[in-house]
Chains A and B, each alone.
Chain A
Amino acid sequence: MRAGAGAGAEPRGGEGRGGGEPAYATAVIAPATPTALAAPDLAPAEPSAGAAVPQAGDPALTLLARVGVVDPASLDDYRAHGGYTALRRAFALGPAGVIREVTDAGLLGRGGAAFPTGRKWQATASQADHPHYLVCNVDESEPGTFKDRVLMEGDPYALIEAMTIAGYAIGAHKGFLYLRGEYPRALGLLENAIASARARGLLGQDVLGQGYGFDIEIRRGAGAYICGEETAIFNSVEGYRGEPRTKPPFPVEKGLFGKPTAVNNVETLVNVLPILTGRTEETKLFCLSGNVDRPGIYELRFGVTLRELIELAGPPDTMRAVLLGGAAGSFVRPDELDIPLTFEGTHAAGTTLGSGVVLVLDDTVELPRVLLRIAKFFRDESCGQCVPCRVGTVRQEEALHRIKDRTGADAAGDIALLREVGRAMRDASICGLGQTAWNAVESAIDRLGAYE
């Protein structure tokens, strides 16, 4: 399977597809086969989502509790395991009540930017313009991220229920589920979940007989990382070229079809279920990959340290670096593993939780080649709209190519050039892609001493 996103993923321990590139991100579940991609129904024994959850069976799991436990194709099984209690609670609370609970719980977006969800919902709900829309962002293309896939394939009804609650809260009657094109199995399961929920009155004109109408339409991506950016997703759904729009105006004001829209990540939405059903402690999903013994999705309470997480996954003998937050994130050193895994803790340490990627690299990895791979990813995925990113990502890759076998004074000139280009990309690019395209490289130079 292509667990880490398209261009960024290399098979675990593999020597790479072409040109002897080393392993960078890691495929965790199973290799993609041509049949698996062409016809999901015929896929030979692809391991279930539960196989990507090393903590399976742990009673402390909340978001992952049903993954590998329920039959993802059965609405009855979902209901037997607590499904649709949160939606009933939501109807009891009313839209403003739901937003209050979510705000009070302090839920922050899990798509990478950590924006307060309650605030986003409130801002959307209060817009006078109608209709309002909900967009669930399942483009999941950040290299090393595969948590949304596991949630959807292991517990698809949870997302459908959570979207219904979000739609209710923001006053939307229509939700779009923007699905990464390379997720055929998730597509089948979600289509089934939507159809069966609709057949039982859990979606449609009159949800649960409460007089509230809500339905969900799936739109498939076509293999572009940029379409996960919250405004590019609107262009893509509307049938235009996937390019970010200018902000302001922000999506809550003028989003999909120019109407007030809340865009949320899968993990963000699924977090709303335990918030409404009385969970005690907030948890976060982490996507462990690279040189660890037990890669997969881990669910931990906030505040656990990076060291504790990597210990769970089985660290390599000699660790060289950890990439936090994916290609748009940054590297940390093995002596920085006491960073608490919270949004604030990582921020204070000059790094980011991002989408929850924790990619562990041992000392066999050649850092300059890893950086080159990351740079290639950004060059390939730039939409091309703005100059700093369109040309800057190319110049970044060229410079990294020149210094891939150099160190010290021999690399200094190009490193200075990289800094100048990187600074302009961060400051002057339109969207988060260009703005973060130099993060990992910068951190590898400054924190890891990649070319010393």
Chain B
Amino acid sequence: MTAIPLHMPRRLVEFTLDGQEVRVPEGDTILDACRAAGKDIPTLCQGDTLTPKNACRVCVVEVEGARTLAPACSRRAEPGMTVLTDTERARHSRKVVLELLASSTDLSMTPRAAEWMKEYEAEPDRFGPAAARMNEEPKIDNDLYVRDYDKCILCYKCVDACGEQWQNTFAIAVAGRGFDARISTEHDAPLTDSACVYCGNCIEVCPTGALSFKSEFDMRTAGTWDESAQTETTTVCAYCGVGCNLTLHVQENEIIKVTSPHDNPVTHGNLCIKGRFGYQHVQQR
């Protein structure tokens, strides 16, 4: 089901995108305009349910007259601006950003990372075998989800989803600075001693697989995770009267994880612990 949002018609902003005159509703970003024009700009930290943090810088484009490149995901279109998305300069930064990430982080579960690395001819190995890496072990401290920060690109999405943008629980934040920065609970306590309420809304937005259902993590470790054998069924949560949409991911007749459609007007992808993790009763046979 797709909801049709009702709001006041917005004024249109006209600007030049790669030599073409385009018109987008006021408030739209350069990325919105690119997508509307069918241009594929890589993005990692941008999320469809979150305010852009523009931390990863993989989406940078050239705005005429600007000293530096601009993040397409957060820079709003302005009347008369001239934007170039595919210049040597923009491509160079995207390539280096991909190399810097891939040389320090495990991107094996980041959708499209491999494709972009190829497209931009990124060679993360050129920083040498001694290049510093995240070097994190998976944190398995509860039965519901795993935090594998070796895969974390520090996109801040989980922090924003846990904090003021959705859940208002503030169980996690960035700790440490520079290359030592990590997503952490207060005092790096185990999740079970943290403020976490296990809504799993951080897992929903994590773009790298750093956060995953324990069920998924265990199956991947055991080599039994098989996306081709999975089905997705969207239904309504049976716990309370709010009516959240759940998408049940099923493999071999077992629910293996639960997500929620991001365009669902009730949830925007968010759930509570019951909808997200409370599915075992369905499987009591």
Contacts and interface: CB of A to CB of B under 8 A. Distances in A.
A428 B130 contact: no
Nearest to B101: A387
Interface residues of B, number: 36
Given A246-B74, A388-B57, A417-B126, A382 B179 contact: yes
Given A398-B132, A430-B54, A390 B68 contact: no
Contacts of B238: none
Contacts, number: 110
B177 A394 contact: no
A427 B100 contact: no
Contacts of A398: 127-128, 130-132
Interface in A379-394: 379-388, 390-394
A392 B74 contact: no
Interface in B158-195: 173-174, 176-181
A387 B56 contact: yes
Contacts of A206: none
A328 to B, nearest CB: 15
A388 B68 contact: no
Given A384-B178, A398-B128, A426-B68, A391 B100 contact: yes
A391 B179 contact: yes
A417 B124 CA distance: 11
A241 B174 contact: yes
A383 B100 contact: no
Given A386-B55, A394-B179, A424 B101 contact: no
B139 interface: no
Contacts of B55: 385-387, 430
Given A386-B57, A428-B93, A391 B104 contact: yes
A100 interface: no
B173 A241 contact: yes
A224 B177 contact: yes
Contacts of A423: 92-93, 96
Interface string B31-56: 00000000000000000000010111
A386 to B, nearest CB: 5
B177 A395 contact: no
B245 interface: no
A224 B180 CA distance: 14
B93 A382 contact: no
A398 B126 CA distance: 12
A391 B152 CA distance: 13
A338 interface: no
Interface in A32-53: none
B96 A382 contact: no
B89 interface: yes
B58 interface: yes
Contact of B97 (A381, A383, A428): A428
A352 interface: no
Interface string A142-155: 00000000000000
B132 A383 contact: no
Contact of B174 (A224, A384, A392, A402): A384
A384 B93 contact: no
B77 interface: no
B178 A395 contact: no
Contact of A427 (B54, B60, B132): B60
B121 to A, nearest CB: 12
B96 A420 contact: yes
Interface string A236-277: 000001000010000000000000000000000000000000
5 contacts: A384-B154, A391-B101, A395-B103, A398-B131, A420-B96
Ranked nearest first, the 10 interchain pairs of A and B with the lowest CB-CB distance are A384-B181, A424-B96, A391-B100, A382-B178, A428-B93, A428-B57, A424-B93, A384-B178, A427-B69, A394-B179
Given A224-B177, A246-B74, A395-B127, 5 more contacts: A246-B52, A387-B154, A394-B104, A424-B93, A426-B68
